[in-house]
C-alpha cells in the first residue's frame, strides 16, 4: 500500500500531520522522506500564490473563465480569459505581475467574450471567442496574428466555442459547445476530425464545456449538460465516462 503513495508530493507539514501519525511509515524511512520534502506549500492542497482581484482595472477580473500556462522559470506565464471584461490578462507566474492585456484594443484582434485559452508549443496564444464563434490567435507578446472559424455546424465552424487544449502533436482540440461536439483542428484552423453529437449515449454530448488532453493522448471532455466527464481516444472513440447529476461524491452539476 505504501508503495502506491507518492509521498514526494507532500510538504513537511502534511507529512507530519498525516503520514507520521498513521504509522504507515516510521523510523529511518520517515526521516529520509521528511528531509527531502519541501518546507513550502504543498502542491496538492495549498494555494501557493494568487493573482488579481475583482474590478476592471489593470490586473483585475470581472469573470475568469479559463486559464493556460506556458514557459518555465522566470519566463513562465499564466493567461486568464475574462469573459465579462472581454480580454485576456497574462501574468508572470513568478512575480505575479500583469505583463499583457490581450484583446481589449480596437482592431481585428478585439475580443468580446473570450471563453477558453491554450498555448501551442511555440508560445502562441489561442482564444475561443463565444460571441464571434471564432478562434483568435496572438503571438507571445499579445499581438494579434489571425483568426479562423465562423458561425455554423460545418467542418471548422463553431457555435459557442469554449474550452481549448493542444495535443502533443500540435493539434487544437475545441469544445464546440452549442454544436454538441468536439472538433480537432490544425494550428491554422484546418479541419481534422469531429467527435460526438447531441445526446446522452456513450460519446455523445450536451453542451461540452471544456477539454483536456491526457498524457496518453486521450481527450477528457467536461460534458456539462449531461453532468459527467467523458474520456475519448485521440481518434474519438469512447473510452469511459464518470459522474452523474447530483450533489453527492463523484456527482456534478454542469461541470466546466
DSSP string, 8-37: GGS-HHHIIIIIHHHTSS-HHHHHHHHHHS
Question: Domain coordinates of the chain in residue numbers?
Answer: 2-36, 64-242
- Work out the pLDDT band at 45, boundaries 50, 70, 90: low
For the chain, the residue count is 256
Q: What pLDDT, on a 0 to 100 scale, did the predictor assign at position 53?
A: 85
Q: Which residues of 24-63 are buried (b: 16+ CB within 10 A; e: fewer)?
A: ebeeeebeebbeebeeeebeeeeeeeebbeeeeeebebee
Residue 179: strand, helix, or coil:
helix
pLDDT for res 39: 52
Task: Render pLDDT for 103-118 as a digit per residue (tens, 0 to 9).
Answer: 999 999 999 999 999 9
What is the per-residue pLDDT for 256? 85
HEC assignment per residue over 208-240: EEEEEECCCCCEEEEEHHHCEEEEECCCCCEEE
Vertex 30: Cα angle to 28 and 34 (nearest 5): 115
For 209-232, what is the mean pLDDT?
96
- What would the pLDDT profile of 136-161 be if each residue is shown by its tens digit? 999 999 999 999 999 999 999 999 99
Radius of gyration of the chain from its Cα atoms, rounded to whole angstroms? 21
The top-level CATH class assigned to 64-242 is mainly beta
d(CA 13, CA 176): 43
Amino acid at each position: 500500500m505504501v508503495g502506491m503513495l507518492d509521498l514526494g508530493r507532500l510538504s513537511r507539514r502534511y507529512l507530519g500531520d498525516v503520514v507520521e501519525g498513521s504509522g504507515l511509515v516510521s523510523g529511518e524511512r520517515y526521516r529520509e522522506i521528511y528531509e527531502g520534502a519541501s518546507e513550502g506549500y504543498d502542491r496538492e492542497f495549498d494555494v501557493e500564490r494568487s493573482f488579481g482581484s475583482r474590478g476592471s482595472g489593470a490586473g483585475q477580473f470581472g469573470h475568469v473563465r479559463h486559464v493556460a500556462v506556458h514557459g518555465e522559470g522566470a519566463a513562465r506565464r499564466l493567461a486568464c480569459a475574462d469573459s465579462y471584461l472581454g480580454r485576456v490578462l497574462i501574468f508572470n507566474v513568478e512575480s505575479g505581475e500583469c505583463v499583457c492585456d490581450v484583446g481589449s484594443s480596437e482592431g481585428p484582434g478585439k475580443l468580446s467574450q473570450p471563453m477558453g485559452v491554450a498555448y501551442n508549443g511555440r508560445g502562441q496564444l489561442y482564444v475561443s471567442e463565444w460571441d464571434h464563434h471564432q478562434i483568435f490567435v496572438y503571438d507571445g507578446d499579445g499581438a494579434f496574428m489571425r483568426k479562423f472559424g465562423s458561425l455554423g455546424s460545418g467542418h471548422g465552424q463553431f457555435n459557442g466555442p469554449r474550452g481549448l487544449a493542444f495535443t502533443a502533436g500540435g493539434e487544437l482540440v475545441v469544445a464546440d459547445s452549442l454544436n454538441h461536439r468536439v472538433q480537432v483542428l490544425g494550428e491554422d484552423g484546418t479541419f481534422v476530425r469531429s467527435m460526438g453529437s447531441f445526446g446522452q449515449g456513450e460519446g455523445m454530448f450536451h453542451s461540452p464545456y471544456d477539454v483536456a488532453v491526457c498524457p496518453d493522448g486521450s481527450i477528457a471532455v467536461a460534458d456539462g449538460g449531461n453532468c459527467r466527464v467523458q474520456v475519448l481516444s485521440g481518434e474519438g472513440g469512447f473510452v469511459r465516462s464518470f459522474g452523474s447529476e447530483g450533489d453527492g461524491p463523484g456527482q456534478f452539476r454542469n461541470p466546466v
